Structure 1
Amino acid sequence: MIPNRPNAFHGIYAATLCPLHPDGRIDEPTLARHLEATAFVPGMAGLLINGHAGENFTLSREEKLRVTQIAAEVCGHHAILVCGINAEDSHEAQRHTDDAKAAGADAALLFPPFSWALSQDAQMAITHHKVANANAQMPLMLYQAGVNAGTMAYKPEVLAALAQLPHVVGVKEGSWEAAAYEANLRLVKQVAPHVAMMASGDEHLFTCFAVGSEGSLVSLAAVMPELVIELDAAVREKNLDKARALNDRIYPLAKAIYGTAPGGWATARLKTCLKLLGRIPNDTMRLPIGPLPAAEVARLERALADAGATA
């Protein structure tokens, strides 16, 4: 539910996970508990469902629709629901965006198609967003990919053009590099000052919050929601000593999840963290990603302990 207040989309959003049964089916009761518990953490503005952490790329269209329906049922009246849309074909993206609106999502976050790692230009990006939202006419959030993502990361002129499209309300800024974040922040504020820039690189939240951010859509907030919300508040209050202390707890876990090779294990690591914390019964991923090695699990357990996160 979009609140009736100025800057309605500002705030912290948890990029949620999608718990699975051992056979790979969605564990709907556990998913509902995960979504509800995360959404009702004090200070949480909303949820990003069906994002990368939610395994959007492995779920069928029907499964993504079901995730959105469950989210709307358990917390749609309380939290802003942003639904990730990840499709190679623009008309398929349109169908998924229509699904998201029908199921109760409040906004759509369009991910750049993986094929854009090979080639992409401004007109392709604009066409994809316009077609995807042609029917739903939903508030849109852009996804700024990492600096190492090739042409999946929007060039300045592409980001500027996208930010000025109708319905765009925010940018999930995941450049994963603080200097690029600041450059994109300044660019968007110049061409579309109403669009919220939301620092969403887990490893440098403190740095980007200090530069300036209007929120974050971030998976760490699904594991340690209170710490991420407290960090944002401490920076806004200019309490840098408190912010540094919180960052000292957050950073090692962010590094263990996202900053350690292989990067493709990030979602599996997030699920393992939730399992270690007793929030989900198992950490099943869809193949080809299998169970994490014992040494990896032990390292995550130490990082959680160092962050003060306990079951």
Structure 2
Amino acid sequence: MLERAGADGLLVFPPNSWALAHADDCVIAHHRHIRDATTVPLMLYAAPVGAGAMAYASSLLEQLVADPRFVAIKEGSWEVATYEQNLRLIRKLRAEFVVLGSGDEHLLTSYLVGSAGSQVSLACVVPELVVSLWNAAEAGDWEQARAAHEKLYPLAVAIYRDAPGGRATVRLKACLKLLGRLSCDAARPPQPPATSNELRALEQALRIAGAR
């Protein structure tokens, strides 16, 4: 359906139930079913290391990368050492494979280690700042890249890291409403709306990012 609607490519996520446990054969079959039902280029997803078994082991990632229909990965391990480990493995297997960093809090580190870009939800809030970080990194201007990172980091923490967990979508929508880009920031139950403490933290982080 997505392909018929005009999608140029598809990102294949693992089911949330895999966080508990799964068989490797199940993972391979999941990706092959999607591969065989489509013709567009496909992207893998590397889940956060804190997401249990959703994060693929190196041996499994190697099998997935070997399929030529998959041409890129949203590298969301959210942990620098694992990011670099996966990057090195993938480059060894297929040098042309596109690795996109997805750890909003450590984009600068991803760009230093190596990345073809990034796919991050933070870009929906401050796209110009994310792009400026990438452009500076591409130009090797690490002083400018660090300056952009300093503006981005507090916002990434306020959205993704601050307790309680699992609130990123609510906080992203709250940011978009604060910036006047969204008329309603309501989240689907059971998620409650952003609290006053969350809104204050987001407001402050948006000011540091230069978005307010």
TM-score category by the smaller chain?
A: over 0.9
State the AA in 1 paired with 2:181.
R
Q: In structure 1, which of residues 153, 158, 161 is the aligned counterpart of residue 60 of structure 2? A: 158
- CA distance in 2 between counterparts of 1:298 and 1:151 reads 35
* The one of 294, 304, 307 aligned to 2:196: 294
**Counterparts of residues 238-253 of structure 1 (less than 5 Å):** 238-253=140-155
Q: Deviations over 1:23-42 (max 9, x none)?
A: xxxxxxxxxxxxxxxxxxxx
* Aligned pairs (5 A) from 1:109-258: 109-258=11-160
> What SS does the corresponding residue of 1:102 show, helix, strand or coil?
coil
How far residue 137 of structure 1 moved from its aligned partner, in angstroms, is 2.1
- Which residue in 2 is equivalent to 1:55? none
Which 4+ residue blocks in structure 1 deviate beyond 4 angstroms?
Answer: none
**2:187 match:** 285
Which residue pairs with 2:211 in the alignment?
309
Q: Structure 1: how far apart are the matches of 2:37 and 2:19?
A: 27
- 1:263 Cα deviation after fit: 1.8
Q: Deviations over 1:232-261 (max 9, x none)?
A: 111111101000000000000000000111
1:79-103 deviations in Å (ceiling 9; x for gaps): xxxxxxxxxxxxxxxxxxxx11011
Q: Contact 1:144–1:171 (CA<8 Å) still a contact in 2?
A: yes
**Distance across 2 between alignment mates of 1:304 and 1:193:** 38
Residue 166 of structure 2 is matched in structure 1 by 264
C-alpha RMSD of the superposition: 0.9
- Higher relative strand content: 1
* Partner secondary structure for residue 118 of structure 2: strand
The one-letter code of the counterpart of 2:22 is Q
Higher relative contact order, chain-length normalized (CA < 8 Å, sep 6+): 1
**How many angstroms apart in 1 are the aligned matches of 2:8 and 2:38?**
10
TM-score by length of 2: 0.97
Cα distance in 2, alignment partners of residues 308 and 230 from structure 1? 13
Could you report, residue by residue, the CA deviation over 1:266-286 in whole angstroms, capped at 9, with x for unpaired residues?
Answer: 100000000000111110111
Give the 5 Å matches for 1:77-116: 99-116=1-18
**1-structure distance, mates of 2:168, 2:204:** 16
CA deviation map 1:10-69 (0-9, x unaligned): xxxxxxxxxxxxxxxxxxxxxxxxxxxxxxxxxxxxxxxxxxxxxxxxxxxxxxxxxxxx
Map of 1:43 onto structure 2: none
Identity %: 50
Cα offset, 1:121, TM superposition: 3.2
Look up the SS of the partner of 2:163 in the other structure.
coil
Aligned length: 212
Q: CA deviation at 1:294?
A: 1.2
Rounded Cα–Cα distance in structure 1 between residues aligned with 2:37 and 2:12: 15
- Kept in 2, the 8 Å contact 1:122–1:161? The answer is no
Give ranges in structure 1 of 5+ residues lacking alignment: 1-98
Amino acid at match of 2:15: P
